[in-house]
Amino acid sequence: MNFEKLSVKEILDIANPMMDNLMSASTEIDHERHTRDFTARMKRIVTKDHLQNVCEDYQAEKGFFGERKLVAVFRRPDSAAIVWKQSFTKAKGEFVAEMVLVHQNGSFFCDHAMVF
């Protein structure tokens, strides 16, 4: 799979539902659903306890995820990095949401995601 050959729309059609799920499952602190599209590498990092701690911290400080707007899609031969402008319900200002999308064994996975 060469991500440079995919259109931005094709990449977003894959990445947006994944990011929607990540954010929704994070809000609900649902580990199984949150990690369903993760690579094995990501699943080793995001344990149930890790997710619980991260979610409780950001929800107390920033609230919940608000509007998300695309900033850019960066295509590479083996992955795509998607960057959005992200808002929260309590915290003022603009934040960055990002995801790295990869293709392994015939399926697409999230190999990195963060909101900062």
Provide the 8-state DSSP code for 89: S
Q: What is the pLDDT of residues 43-102, one digit of tens each?
A: 999 999 999 999 999 999 999 999 999 999 999 999 999 999 999 999 999 999 999 999
For residue 15, the enclosing domain spans 3-115
CATH code for the domain in which residue 110 is found: 3.10.450.50
Helix (H) / strand (E) containing 16:
helix 8-28
Q: What is the pLDDT of residues 5-41, one digit of tens each?
A: 999 999 999 999 999 999 999 999 999 999 999 999 9
Q: What is the pLDDT of residue 81?
A: 98
Helix (H) / strand (E) containing 69:
strand 65-75
Give the tokens for residue 112.
């990195």
pTM value? 0.93
Q: What is the pLDDT of residue 106?
A: 96
Question: Total structural domains in the chain?
Answer: 1
